Amino acid sequence: MAEKIIRTEYSEVMQKSYIDYSMSVITARALPDVRDGLKPVQRRVLYAMDQLGLNYDKPHRKSARIVGDTMGKYHPHGDSSIYETLVVLSQDFKKGMALVDGHGNFGSIEGDGAAAMRYTEAKLKKFTQDVYLADLDKNVVDFVPNFDETEKEPEVLPVRVPNILVNGADGIAVGMTTNIPPHNLSEVVDAVCAYMDNEDITTDELMQLCPGPDFPTGGIVINKSELGAIYETGTGKIKLRGKVVFEPAKNRSEKDKLVITEIPYTMIGANIGKFISDVVSLIETKKTTDIVDISNESSKEGIRIVLELKKNADVKNLENLLYKKTKLEDTFGVNMLAIVDGRPETLGIKDIIKHHINFQYELATRKYTTLLEKEKANREIKEGLIRACDIIDLIIEILRGSANLKMAKDCLVNGNVEGIKFKSEQSKKQAAGLDFTEKQAGAILEMRLYKLIGLEILNLQKEYDECVKKIEKYEKILGSRKEMAKVIKSDLLNIKKEYGVARRTVIED
């Protein structure tokens, strides 16, 4: 083969290659899509689990099987990143609403890693099935070829709540990062409904319904007055504190205690150990003499870090020292960056909700168009069967007199009576006037004889009436944005009613 040498400036090649690489990382790896709030790897894990049939009411399946399917079919990158995604999707201390039901050791809030994927098992949660994966069969989203064009995968999942707010997101791309805190599902739904009622609503009015982040670890947000600007621009710093409770001694043998029952979200993982070692160094360097002992009594029930105090300790002063010198008070850097129409954009809360609602209208339009077409086809067949029941004797005569199926069908559709033997001229004349559609003729020829029982014919009429009602309903929804908004809101309120949880994080100044 002849060599092909391209003469070019080396720096230009490097520049072009690096820009291509960084765009790929930004759009196809590290940042969530504003529509479903998921990064590609998360979307692919959930879709692979859906394809494996790992429904909430079925048994758990080995994580290795889920990772293998995701990697082999949709995500041709390392298995460790896929398994890590699966683990994080199941951790309720990291996600506002966990999407995967993990079985086995899926890590802990103190930073312990999950067991190897050959030991753990997982399946989808009911919430995920109802809110993230429902209606995939109704042509609501586009499917695109996978990396080797042997499978199809959804471009985006038909998520019905603003997942980017509910579960937050974090990711490091090239030259940009995203860091979105989780929020309370019920509050986010209320904000979306308010925006649907009034598109000119201000960020401040939205924040009366959704006042700020709601971290799964609880804690206290202490800069309430700055949140308005953060949610308007999509960037800023949230100041977070853990929750400290004073427990006086119950008897003489006991000591007074300061108990940390909630930690800042940023303290998850190794930072809990770091906090304890920071407190120990405060004691060793004599910065405080009020602490006698420190122990970590955290369990599945929740966080409980106990500081035993000496008699007459200055509790308020000690609390302030802990906030100042340890990770018990920390900042969460907000940067609400997401992919909008294939490009990264920094969004305020109002923009996120606006994009979400546009997506919901698109999903609803496609869903009800698909359902309408299905019901119209159904109506056509039912009309044909009802009409056939009225002239069943003639149809039986045509079938008995025809030489083959093609001849009988031709007669039903076009009234062609050539070659068919009839008992009388009147029947022949009647048959010549038939004009069933292709679908109707097919259904008539496949109809079983028991369908001619009186009750079955009544049933057929009843099904036809129901079908007509559904068509009216779908046409009404598709014909008016107001009606569609009603349906979307009603869906959202049902989700809130079934899955909503109380707020965990306190917001104050």
For residues 35 and 163, what is the distance between their CA atoms, to the nearest angstrom? 8
Selecting among 47, 119, 361, 499, the annotated active-site residue is 119
Take residue 308 and report the two structure tokens written for it: 């035993």
Please give the Cα distance from 481 to 410 (Å, whole number). Answer: 44
Q: Identify the bridge partners of residue 143 per DSSP, sorted by sequence position.
A: 154
SS3 213: coil
Using alpha carbons, select from 254, 244, 257, 250 the residue that is nearest to residue 291.
257
Beta-strand ranges (E) seen in 42-142 are 61-62, 100-103, 121-124
Residue-level length of the chain = 509
Within 10 A of 498 (CB to CB), how many other CB atoms are there? 11
Is 119 an annotated catalytic residue? yes
CA dihedral 372, 374, 375, 380 (to 10 degrees): 120
What whole-number distance in Å separates Cα of residue 443 and Cα of residue 446? 5
Q: How many CB atoms lie within 10 A of CB 249?
A: 13
- Rounded to whole angstroms, how far apart are CA atoms 114 and 104? 9
The count of other CB atoms within 10 Å of the CB of residue 365 is 15
- Phi, psi (rounded to 5 degrees) for 295: -145, 150
Cα-trace Rg, the chain:
32
Tokens read off for 29: 């790896």
Taking the C-alpha atoms of residue 156 and residue 143, their distance in angstroms, rounded to an integer, is 8
Task: State both tokens at 268.
Answer: 């998850």
314: left (phi over 0), alpha (psi -120 to 50) or beta: beta
Residue 487 identity (one-letter amino acid): V
Residues serving a catalytic function are: 119
